[in-house]
Amino acid sequence: MAPDPLSLGKLPLKIALGGLGAVGMPTAKWLDDGVAGLELVAISASDKERAKDRVSTFISPPPVLDLRDLADVADVVVECAPPECFAEIAESALARGRIFMPLSVTSLLPRPDLIDMALENGGRIIIPSGAIVGLDAVRAASYGTIHSVVMKTNKPPSSLRTAKFVVEQGIDLDILTEAECLFKGTVAEAASLFPANVNIAVALAFAGIGPDRTEYEIWADPGVDRNCHTIVVDADSTHFEISVAGVPTEETPGTGKLTPLSLMSTLEGLVTPFKVGN
């Protein structure tokens, strides 16, 4: 079993980023600027030459490695790549007992074996909150009895044009003049239809009552210019409603600007001497 670097007081923690897009690039810049207790030691991207060029102006340009090699040099491996890269990053990180931070949370649903792999090798899987809020409260409520969790998402059509369900059904979202419900069911059902668009719904489900019991709706809405989410939780300990209107990134409209900031907060939370919330 690999030792937990935190238990040994091994600082700085070495961070590797699998992906250099709307989440990976701002996180890389933040780490390069200097964060106490954290060190960017490697990145990976599908276009390695472009990645090298993008980090060439960094104070300490990190090497660009293959995805499977990130775990060789890092304590923490972040997955912020397209979903098809998930398995290679996850398996290599957890086989070596690393801390694995996935952003493609939906890809965890069919891979419960990764939790066993983490347990066997002394690794950890830590999911950042991403573009959603309130996961602390949902997780706390789950220690009692949660009766229901319902989430509704309204996104600009541009955020959903490349969704698997939209493409396969040949839906022309550009002609919409009012909001249209694309899906209503459980998070588990939505995950196979919108694998790159429901990561925060899956994170909510993991925090609470699971993907088979968490209810979900997704709407293409030409009346909004933000990724809007409403969550209603009813439990024996509490009842609350959360509304989030996340600003989309210019590079990837389906990804909110809060997502890389959430990753930064989660990474710093590994080493900070003062932390609020989980």
Q: What is the pLDDT of residues 70-122, one digit of tens each?
A: 999 999 999 999 889 999 999 999 999 999 999 999 999 999 999 999 999 99
Strand pairing category for 215-220 and 180-186 = antiparallel
51-63 confidence digits (pLDDT tens) = 999 999 999 999 9
Q: Is the pLDDT of residue 278 over 90?
A: no
Positions marked active-site:
229
Is the model more confident about 46 or about 17?
17
Alpha helices in 8-163 (DSSP H): 24-33, 48-54, 70-73, 86-95, 113-121, 135-141
> What are the structural domains, with CATH classification, of the chain?
13-130+258-269 (3.40.50.720), 135-246 (3.30.360.10)
pLDDT digits (tens, 9 = 90+) for 152-182: 999 999 889 989 999 999 999 999 999 999 9
Going by pLDDT thresholds of 50, 70 and 90, the confidence category of residue 9 is: low
* Amino acid, res. 182: L
**pTM, to two decimals:** 0.91
Report the chain's mean pLDDT, rounded to a whole number: 93
Q: Among residues 131, 266, 259, which one has the least CA distance to residue 204?
A: 131
Query: From edge to edge, which strands make up the β-sheet containing 76-79?
Result: 38-44, 13-18, 76-79, 99-102, 124-125
Considering only CA atoms, which of 95, 106, 51 is closest in space to residue 69? Answer: 95
DSSP three-state, residue 150: strand
Look at residue 8 and tell me whether its pLDDT is greater than 60. no
What is the distance between the alpha carbons of residues 233 and 239, in angstroms, rounded to a whole number? 6
DSSP structure string for 170-239: T--GGG-SS-EEEEEEEHHHHHHHSTTT-HHHHHHHHHTT-TTT-EEEEEE-TT-SSEEEEEEEEESS-E
Contact 27, 40 (CB under 8 A): no
Q: How confident is the model at residue 228 (pLDDT cuts 50, 70, 90)?
A: very high
